[in-house]
């Protein structure tokens, strides 16, 4: 059974720091891994999608890597800003129980203070 | 282009009642998926519809059901509500360019916050 774990559960950093969020998954048979951002009481915003054949994706100050063999992904945020404060979720798309489904981690709650 | 619209935004029901939630996808998107988010269980996949057919489902009891209309709008129904059904219900849409659209970007609505008393 696929399980997704995110470490740390919460993180508080001063503005300007570079930071790394971690995501691990137990079954390497995935279609892709996605990183989302969720602001309080809101839906999710897709940040980056890494297909199983890819190693990394970049968007602005965000860089996500994927190591399928070790079951790990990292989201790197450069020069953090207070506006980056949110919960970051990773999810793997996998085939399980006869269905294609997205399985989420519990998220990392990030606070960037001025 | 309007985003994914979910209605209502908030809903309060009592145990035993049933509820219907609505989701209007982004114009041109043919795939709609539903998720339940609770503090204890996190985000869990409910089901996904493509061209009015349920093509994927999660591990929820039969009390949770959904459907998709010809205009891609989707509804989710929960019958015989239980206290544990209190959650934020999110829907997401994607283009649905292929039947097995595994690498499509998802666009989420703001959700419906359901409270069961």
Tell me: the pLDDT tens digits for A23-55?
999 999 999 999 999 998 889 999 999 999 999
Contact A10, A75 (CB under 8 A): no
pLDDT, one tens digit per residue, over B29-67 is 999 999 999 998 999 999 999 989 998 889 999 999 999
Which of the four pLDDT bands, split at 50, 70 and 90, describes residue B2?
confident
Mutate to test the interface with B, among A59, A95, A102 (most CBs of B within 10 A): A102
**Nearest residue of B to residue A98, measured between CA atoms:** B56
CB A53 within 8 A of CB A33: no
Q: Is B91 helix (H, G, I), strand (E, B) or coil?
A: strand
Separation CA A16–CA A110 (nearest Å) = 13
In this structure, what token pair is assigned to residue A60? 């602005």
Q: What is the mean pLDDT of residues A73-94?
A: 96
Contact yes or no for A100 and B108 at CB 8 A: no
Q: Which residues contact B26 (CB under 8 A, 6 or more apart)?
A: B1, B2, B3, B4, B93, B107
The pLDDT tens digits of the residues spanning B66-115 come to 999 999 999 999 999 999 999 999 999 998 766 555 678 899 999 999 99
**Listed range (A4-18, A55-69, B96-110) with the worst mean pLDDT:** B96-110
- Say what the pLDDT of residue B98 is: 60
B56 vs A36, A43, A101: nearest CB? A101
> How far apart (Å, rounded) are the C-alpha atoms in residues B2 and A106?
29
pLDDT for residue B97: 66
Cβ(B56)–Cβ(B50) under 8 Å?
no
Across chain A, what does the average pLDDT equal? 94
Task: State whether B113 and A105 contact (CB < 8 Å).
Answer: no
Residue A43: closest CA among B34, B91, B46, B86: B91
Note the pLDDT of residue B110: 95
Question: Helix, strand, coil: what percent of chain A each, to 5?
Answer: 5, 65, 35
Is A43–B90 a contact, with Cβ atoms under 8 angstroms apart? yes
Helices (H), chain B: none
Structure confidence at residue A19 (pLDDT): 95
Taking an 8 Å cut-off on Cβ atoms, the answer to whether A103 and B45 are in contact is: yes
């Amino acid at each position: 059974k696929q399980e997704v774990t995110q470490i740390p559960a919460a993180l508080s950093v001063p503005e300007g720091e570079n930071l790394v969020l971690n995501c691990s998954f137990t079954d390497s048979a995935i279609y892709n891994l996605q990183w989302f951002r969720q602001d309080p009481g809101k839906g999710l915003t897709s940040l980056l999608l890494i297909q199983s054949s890819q190693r990394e994706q970049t968007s602005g100050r965000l860089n996500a890597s994927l190591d399928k063999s070790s079951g790990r992904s990292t989201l790197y945020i450069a020069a953090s800003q207070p506006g980056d404060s949110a919960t970051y979720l990773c999810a793997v798309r996998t085939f399980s129980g006869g269905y294609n489904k997205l399985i989420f981690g519990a998220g990392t709650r990030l606070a960037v203070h001025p | 282009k309007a985003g994914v619209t979910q209605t209502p935004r908030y809903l309060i029901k009592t145990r035993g009642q049933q509820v219907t939630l609505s989701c209007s996808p982004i114009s041109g998107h043919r795939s709609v998926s539903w998720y339940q988010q609770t503090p204890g269980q996190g985000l869990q996949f409910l089901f996904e519809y493509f061209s009015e057919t349920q093509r994927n489902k999660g591990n929820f009891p039969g009390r949770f059901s959904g459907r998709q209309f010809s205009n891609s709008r989707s509804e989710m129904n929960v019958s015989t509500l239980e206290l544990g059904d209190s959650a934020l219900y999110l829907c997401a849409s994607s283009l649905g360019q292929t039947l097995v659209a595994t690498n499509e970007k998802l666009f989420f609505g703001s959700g419906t916050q359901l409270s069961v008393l």
